[in-house]
Structure 1
Amino acid sequence: MQNLARLFSLILLLSIPACTHEEKEPLRVGTILWPGSEPIFLARDLGYIDDGSIRLVEYTTLGEASREFRNGMLDAAFITFDIALQLQQQGIEPRVVLVIDYSEGADAIVARPGVRRLEDLRGKRVAVEDMVVSIYVLGRALKMAGLQPSDIQVVRIPVDQQLRSYESGQVDAVVTYEPFVDKLRAAGAHTIFDSRQLPGEIVDVLVVNKDVLEKSPEQVEQLVQGWLQARHYLEEHPADALARMSPRLDTSPSELASMFDKLRMLSLEENLSLLGKPSSPLVESARQLQRFMLEEGLLREPVQPEQMLDARPLEALQESR
């Protein structure tokens, strides 16, 4: 009997690990320096998300973040919609689970004082990051001014090196986005074009790998909820929120407030109306963006942007209210 009892105890001990749930790895979420994604850092600061479930990974440029997402080093990323279209064409299957913001002035072309309007760019050296969103802003601006790309000298410069290039006199104008617009203006540049002239066309989104969304929906919901909660906190307690967020962007609370004035950050309800309908304005914006990308050779063939939209995390949050 004693031997049988020992054998039973051993079997019970061996069976315990098989019955326990394996702890999930934290979601690896790529971010860049962009005011629209800053609420996710505010969410971490306020305890809405934690490193045990969601790990924020910081990158200098969109190109770095998108490459790491494409290579499977990230589970989710804050990116522009144009990058999501490219990822879809490459077979990565990103899922847009949250529309972060529409840029309403936060993407811009800034220039030296002698360049007073877009037409004055003819023959000038223009710094552009090698990313679709910057090329798109420049292309749309040139078309509005009746200029061709061949009318200017395009200089490919990463966003984190543009200020130095401007200050050293290497370029006459820069296509960039906040917080770099603000830094260039402080260096003497002025805005000659911005995304207010492209309403609804520059969209920032949170994408999640399709397989990750299927395997870890609760973690994705926590990520989405954290950003939405922080957005609400920013609305209700702007002074404290701005004071918490501004150091990471190396700016003052008042300067950060002016950057947020150039963005329209979307609520849960607005997101549901965009992601839950295949015929939403978001899809039309994506198709317009896609036409430009095809013309410029930035996409090889058309994709189906509506296939990327996934409102399930938002719907789960709405149901839990």
Structure 2
Amino acid sequence: MKKIVGYLVMAVLAIVILVGCGNDSSGDAKTAAKKSADKEIKIGVSAFPGWYTWYAVEGFKQFEKNDVDVELVWFNTYSDSLQAFNSGQIDGVCAALSDTISPALKGVDFKVVLVNDNSSGADGIVAQSSITSLEGLKGKTVATEIGTIEHFFLLNALETAGLKESDIKLTNMTVENAGPAVISGKVDAASLWEPSLSYAASDGDTNLLFDSSKTPGLIPDTLMVSGDLLKNRSNDVQKIVNAYFDGMEDYVEKPDEALAFMAKQADISTEEMATAMAGARLFSIKDNYEAFNTKAEDYSYLPYTAEKTADFLLKQKMVSTELSDPASIFDSTYIDKLYKESPDKNVPDTKKQ
């Protein structure tokens, strides 16, 4: 009888311990969930004028004013930011629309929720002064960062001149290295974005052959966010979108201060930043709303742009499969809500800076 009672006592104690452990586990799970909800949201940014605007948003403290904890993570090399996003190391990333196609085809869970700008001269091809036309690039050494928007832009530019990639000697370099390479004469030409573009076009015996003002709407610059962030912290995504446009209103009212925040990150003068920004057409809330929602058979409509971009990438064998549903890349929820509440918020006219 004593043994039986002993066994019963031990069993009861075991149940109590197990229940206690179960409660601790539940508590740990809740704590982990809360920590995840409170975790700083990391957004990858790299050197392109339309994306430096995020540093104006940060400088004007609009993340804090909108009650969202955001860290802007700087990447010297653009492709590194894409890899960090695709591997889940950061929650959002500034990306050209062309660079959303490959992740979509590979099943990366994300959506484009915001368009910062359209490149309107902020991307371009600079060549040695002896080369005076795109046709003159045939057989020449041209540097760019392979697999990125500049590679895509270069291929489009070549196509307008009846050339293809095999007609040039393509050299893989980051934009930061390609600019000095064309200035020094190590390469015949380079496909660049600002601020490297302005330096390369003015600092050497070079000339600007072609820029993105000749391909309007081809290069929308966007904010991609992860599916996990959309699912678990949708309210914070809305706050980020709100903060961005609040920051743009500050930019309109205090352009010198905004440019100073941006120039500090770029390590250039405010005057140089203003020059770089002249090639970016910043999108207002209304511009965003129309780009997401107003169907058109031209580059003003994001799904159309995605479809044509994907077709071009497939043709160039930069991707291996067709994009069956271009609209699936986009989520207009956050822009739609903001448009209904504040349709008239303004953005700077960068051409007048």
TM-score of the pair, normalised by structure 1: 0.89
Q: 2: distance between equivalents of 1:238 and 1:202?
A: 24
Offset, 1:319: 4.9
The corresponding residue for 1:219 is: 236
Cα distance in 2 for partners of 1:74, 1:234 equals: 26
Q: Is the 8 A contact 1:62 1:131 kept in 2?
A: no
Q: How many angstroms apart in 2 are the aligned matches of 1:158 and 1:120?
A: 23
1:22 aligns with one of 34, 40, 58: 34
TM alignment of 1:106-185, pairs within 5 A: 106-185=122-201
Percent identity, please. 27
Conserved? CA contact 1:40–1:226, under 8 Å:
no
Shift of 1:252: 2.0
> How far 1:278 sits from its partner (Å)?
6.2
1:317 paired residue number = 338
SS in 2 for 1:97: strand
In terms of mean alpha carbon deviation, does 286-295 or 267-276 score higher? 267-276
In structure 1, the partner of 2:305 is 285
Report the Cα offset of residue 312 of structure 1. Answer: 1.5
Mapped partners of 1:274, 1:211: distance in 2: 24
Matched, 1:307 2:328: yes
2:62–2:246 CA contact under 8 A, matched in 1: yes
Deviation at 1:256, TM superposition (A): 1.6
Residue 55 of structure 2: aligned partner? 41
How many Å apart are 1:195 and its aligned residue? 0.7
Return the letter of the residue paired with 2:258.
A
1:58 aligned to which of 49, 74, 78? 74
Q: Which residue of 2 aligns with 1:298?
A: 318
Looking at structure 1, the residues matched to 53 and 159 of structure 2 have their Cα atoms a distance apart, in angstroms, of: 34
Structure 2 distance, partners of 1:198, 1:137, is 9
- Alpha-carbon offset, residue 172 of structure 1: 1.0
Q: C-alpha distance in 1, partners of 2:161/2:43?
A: 39
Q: CA RMSD in A?
A: 2.3
Deviates more, 1:270-279 or 1:249-258: 270-279
* 1:244-268 Cα distance to aligned partner (Å, 9 max, x none): 2212212222222222221111111
Q: Verify: 1:269 aligned to 2:282, yes or no.
A: no
Q: Is the 8 A contact 2:289 2:339 kept in 1?
A: no
Q: Which amino acid aligns with 2:335?
A: L
From 183, 205, 210, the counterpart of 2:222: 205
**In the alignment, which residue of structure 1 is the partner of 2:253?**
236
Aligned-partner residue type, residue 28 of structure 1: K
Aligned length: 308
Query: Structure 2: any 5+ residue segments left out of the alignment?
Result: 1-22, 343-353
| 2:109 is the counterpart of 1:74 | no
How far is the alpha carbon of 1:161 from its aligned partner?
1.4
Q: CA deviation at 1:150?
A: 2.5
SS at match of 2:94: strand
Q: How many angstroms apart in 2 are the aligned matches of 1:267 and 1:42?
A: 15
Deviations 1:57-77 (A, max 9, x none): 110122101100110001111
Give runs of ≥4 in structure 1 deviating > 6 Å: 17-21
Deviation string 1:120-176 (CA, Å, 9 cap, x unpaired) is: 212211101112422222112212222232322111111121133224432011001
Pairwise CA distance, 1:314: 2.0
Mapped partners of 2:139, 2:56: distance in 1 = 43
User: CA offset at residue 277 of structure 1?
Assistant: 5.0
Question: 1:229-283: per-residue Cα shift (whole Å, max 9, x none)?
Answer: 2222222221221122212212222222222221111111221222245667111
**Which structure 1 residue ranges, 5 or more long, are not aligned?**
1-13
Distance of 2:112 and 2:50 partners within structure 1: 15
Q: Does 2:48 correspond to 1:31?
A: no
Deviation string, structure 1 residues 80-121 (Cα, Å, up to 9, x no partner): 111111111111121010011110110100011111111221
Q: C-alpha separation between the residues in 1 aligned to 2:198 and 2:212?
A: 15
Distance 1:184 1:227 in 2: 31
Once residues 318 and 199 of structure 1 are traced to their aligned partners in structure 2, the CA distance between those partners, rounded to angstroms, is 24
CA distance in 2 between counterparts of 1:207 and 1:278 reads 21
- Partners of 1:308 and 1:94 in 2: how far apart? 7
Is the 2:290–2:301 contact (alpha carbons within 8 Å) kept by the matching residues of 1?
no
Mapped partners of 2:290, 2:80: distance in 1: 31
SS of the aligned residue for 2:240 comes to: helix
Greater CA drift, 134-143 or 279-288: 279-288
The Cα shift of 1:187 comes to: 2.1
Contact 2:292 2:301 in 1 (8 A): no
Distance in structure 2 (CA, Å) of the matches to 1:258 and 1:79: 21
* Residues 233 and 316 of structure 1, relative CA distance in 2, 3 Å threshold: same
